[in-house]
Amino acid sequence: MARFFIPKEKLDENFLVLTGENAAHAKVLRLKNGDEVTVCDAEGTDYRCTVSDVAPNQISLVVQAVCPSDSEAKVRCSVYMAFAKGDKFEHVIQKATELGAYEIVCFPSARCVSRPDEKSLKKKLERWQKIAASAAEQSRRGRIPQVIALPSYKAALARAAEAELKVCFYENEEQLTFRAAIEAAPFTTAAILTGPEGGFETEEVQQAADAGLKICTLGSRILRCETAPLCALSALMYACGEF
């Protein structure tokens, strides 16, 4: 069933209209009268609709039912990843969205090679949010994860520390496994924090611990910066029964 996202303020409980990119997408799908589609407010509510009229620049829909999306994870997991080179963060945005991340957050750390300035970061955020929206539509998510850029490592730690389960992954940690951290206590919110290509400095790991994050290992193998957050997110979703 085709799926479209429409801002919540433009939704009605009885009738909806697809315009712009949504209408163009509907045209590609060759929707016709009577076809069933799902419209989502990007915040977790689905509108089950049928096509009532097909015009050149818009598609009219009749709402048949309004219900909570059944594709959202029970645990709200925020993925925190330090700025990375190239398009690695874009890859993480796409895959983390498919895997069920609640939001994806980027931040600078000591060993980051990529350090976008304010102007370029604004453009990147627009592109990153579109990637999240496209991945959410493709994977039939009920909401579009927000992509957020924080100004500092300190800000990332403070924000991540608000979650019930908060973990910082460090390649030199040998004692605490991610599994042990997950099983320590029940939780409904989680934050998983990973570093850039060169990993975190020792002082940064201590700062994370001081902020209340658990320092965990992801195993004996060294993972690339774009692999680690997706590995951790997948493990978390599996442990929470999402797979």
Summarised one tens digit per residue, pLDDT across range 115-140 is: 888 889 999 999 999 999 999 988 98
Calculate mean pLDDT across residues 40-55.
Answer: 90
Q: Looking at the structure, do residues 100 and 182 belong to the same domain, yes or no?
A: yes
Tell which residue, 133, 136, 214, 229, has the closest CA to residue 181: 214
Euclidean distance between CA atoms 97 and 3, whole angstroms: 16
Across the chain, mean pLDDT equals 93
State the pLDDT at residue 188.
Answer: 96
pLDDT for residue 104 is more than 80: yes
If one compares 139 and 81, the residue with the highest pLDDT of the two is: 81
Domain endpoint, select from 68, 85, 116: 68
Q: What percent of the chain has pLDDT over 70?
A: 100
Q: Looking at the structure, do residues 82 and 194 belong to the same domain, yes or no?
A: yes
φ, ψ at 218 (rounded to 5°): -110, 25
Instruction: Return the minimum-mean-pLDDT range out of 66-70, 79-83, 207-211.
Output: 66-70
Q: Looking at the structure, do residues 87 and 61 belong to the same domain, yes or no?
A: no
If one compares 212 and 8, the residue with the highest pLDDT of the two is: 212
Containing structural domain, residue 140: 76-239
Q: What 3 state SS string does the chain have?
A: CEEEECCHHHCCCCEEEECHHHHHHHHHCCCCCCCEEEEECCECEEEEEEEEEECCCCEEEEEEEEEECCCCCCCEEEEEEECCCCCHHHHHHHHHHHHCCCEEEEECCCCCCCCCCHHHHHHHHHHHHHHHHHHHHHCCCCECCEEEECCCHHHHHHHHCCCCEEEEECCCCCCCEHHHHHHCCCCCEEEEEECCCCCCCHHHHHHHHHCCCEEEECCCCCCCCCCHHHHHHHHHHHHCCCC
Q: How many domains does the chain have?
A: 2
pLDDT for residue 20 is more than 80: yes
Residue 55 maps to which CATH number?
2.40.240.20
State the pLDDT at residue 90.
Answer: 97
State the pLDDT at residue 36.
Answer: 94
Q: Looking at the structure, do residues 147 and 48 belong to the same domain, yes or no?
A: no
If one compares 157 and 141, the residue with the highest pLDDT of the two is: 157
pLDDT for residue 1 is more than 80: no
Q: Looking at the structure, do residues 182 and 230 belong to the same domain, yes or no?
A: yes
| pTM score of the predicted model | 0.87
pLDDT for residue 228 is more than 90: yes
Per this entry, what is the length of the chain? 243
Q: Looking at the structure, do residues 84 and 63 belong to the same domain, yes or no?
A: no
State the pLDDT at residue 131.
Answer: 96
Domain endpoint, select from 68, 86, 103: 68
Give the model's confidence band at 92: pLDDT under 50 very low, under 70 low, under 90 confident, else very high. Answer: very high
Q: What is the pLDDT of residues 3-19, one digit of tens each?
A: 898 888 888 888 999 99
State the pLDDT at residue 7.
Answer: 85
Q: Looking at the structure, do residues 150 and 53 belong to the same domain, yes or no?
A: no
State the pLDDT at residue 13.
Answer: 81
State the pLDDT at residue 183.
Answer: 95
